[in-house]
Amino acid sequence: MSETIDQNTFEQILEMDDEGDNDFSKGIVFGFFDQAESTFDKMEKHLADKDLGELSSLGHYLKGSSATLGLIKVKDACEKIQHYGAGKDETGTNDEPDQEVSLENIRKTLTQVKKDYKEVEDFLRRYYGESP
């Protein structure tokens, strides 16, 4: 999981748990699950509407929380979506003038990030003793 979750980042959240339970970190993580899933749904919708600006904004939004939890892959993908949505390439440095290309890039990235997310979600659910 090391390339999926940044251990240091995640551990410092675990450190915030009270002794004997992990209610705090679990609450955060499961809250993130809800957030991520609803964000993905919104992304699909705005992808259908070809609303790049909204997609970029959603990418930024989920980037922040996934980064805070140390979910590297999800974070990276969200960052890409943010850039694509802004009419840039995946690094955000060069312009991508063709909307359709940007939308296609987002479509691919979104498909991939959902897989990555599922993987990390399963892992974390197991970690917290729930069957995925």
Q: Contact residues for another protein (CB under 8 A)?
A: 8-9, 12-13, 15-16, 24, 27-28, 31-32, 35, 51-54, 56-58, 60-61, 63-65, 67-70, 75, 82-83, 85-88, 92
Q: How far is the CB of 37 from another protein (least distance, A)?
A: 13
How far apart CA 26 and CA 47 sit, in angstroms, is 31
How far apart CA 79 and CA 121 sit, in angstroms, is 19
Q: Are the C-beta atoms of 52 and 87 separated by less than 8 Å?
A: yes
Question: Which is nearer to another protein, 71 or 116 (by Cβ)?
Answer: 71
Question: Which is nearer to another protein, 64 or 132 (by Cβ)?
Answer: 64
84: closest CA among 103, 69, 65? 103
Q: How far is the CB of 67 from another protein (least distance, A)?
A: 4
How far apart CA 4 and CA 21 sit, in angstroms, is 24
Question: Which is nearer to another protein, 93 or 131 (by Cβ)?
Answer: 93
Tell me the two tokens of residue 61.
Answer: 């939004």
Question: Which is nearer to another protein, 57 or 131 (by Cβ)?
Answer: 57
Q: Are the C-beta atoms of 28 and 13 separated by less than 8 Å?
A: yes
Q: How far is the CB of 97 from another protein (least distance, A)?
A: 14
Q: How far is the CB of 48 from another protein (least distance, A)?
A: 15
